[in-house]
A = this chain, B = another copy of it.
Amino acid sequence: MTRRTVDVPALVASARAGSPRAVARLISLVEDGHPALREVMAALAPHTGTAWVIGITGSPGVGKSTSTTALVGAFRERGLRVGVLAVDPSSPFSGGALLGDRIRMQDHALDPEVYIRSMASRGHLGGLSWTTPQAIRVLDAAGCDVVLVETVGVGQSEVEIASLADTCIVLLAPGMGDGIQAAKAGILEIGDVFVVNKADRDGADATVRDLRHMISLGDRTEPGLWRPPVLKTVADRGIGIDEVMAALDKHRAFIGDNGELRRRRERRAADEIEQIALGVLRRRLGNLDGRAGVGALAARVVDGTLDPYAAADALVERLDR
């Protein structure tokens, strides 16, 4: 792939001035891991830190796309600029993925104050860790007041999204055994606001009850901790969205007051720094050659004359010299 030279100052200025094309181009640079990213991130840094990052996750079929669309509408009614990142962890391939049901979000496609971007997550370091925080940073610097990050809850993506977000919404639907099973497995710990969507279907109240019960069994009921509400919506008819918005506001105020917002953001930045640093170190490891290069060490591991830990030690030691 040949890489065009990027006029970073001009691009950043355009993005800051509200050009959707410039924002899209910057996110493409993130997806491509473009060499200009360093310069981009340096230029964006002073303008970041204002966006409220809201994660939305849930199993396939719970209505994530519809719910996101409804929330975008509600934030737009407040006059806020909104960014949407729809991250597809099921595809390790290709950037700029456009998911089928993303089409529904086109309600907002012509609104210049809404940026919508689908991203395939990828990279050997896995999942959302590499590209998503940087794409959030772009939207933040471009003046988005809110960034909604939507991802399907499979693999580690739901845990990762929780670590990326200031506030994390976990969506469920009635009667999905899956949903509750997933809940048992760990979403209880990551949701700040639980929403049972499609609440006009049978079993919605039972799902709400089950969830509340499970939450009450956890350690999230201790005094001073945020106690996640369980709400009902019918997102495609706009029912219950006001209550979700109120719960989001309440959570935002709560974590702002008790310092958790700052802690989450520092943790997020620390992860991001570490990922970038590990990328640098990985490249260095890969560049080592000769008898203590990874290729030669791998051959000895395959032969059974060296174990992988000893090989890793040899590699790191080589790096130290």
Contacts and interface: CB of A to CB of B under 8 A. Distances in A.
A272 B319 CA distance: 17
B302 A273 contact: no
Interface string A255-293: 000000010011101101110111111100110000000
A45 B310 CA distance: 11
A1 B47 CA distance: 43
Stoichiometry, as copies per complex, reads 2
Interface of A is mostly: helix
Contacts of A272: 301, 308
Interface string A156-195: 1101000000000000000000000000011000000000
A4 to B, nearest CB: 20
A177 to B, nearest CB: 11
A306 to B, nearest CB: 7
B156 A92 contact: yes
A45 B186 contact: no
A295 to B, nearest CB: 6
B309 A41 contact: yes
Contact of A309 (B37, B304, B307, B319): B37
Nearest to A182: B90
Interface of A: 37-38, 41-42, 44-49, 89-93, 122, 125-127, 129, 133-134, 137, 154-157, 159, 185-186, 262, 265-267, 269-270, 272-274, 276-282, 285-286, 294-295, 297-299, 301-313, 315-316, 319
17 contacts: A37-B309, A42-B307, A44-B307, A45-B301, A45-B305, A49-B304, A126-B126, A126-B127, A266-B302, A269-B297, A269-B311, A270-B294, A270-B295, A274-B294, A274-B312, A277-B319, A278-B282
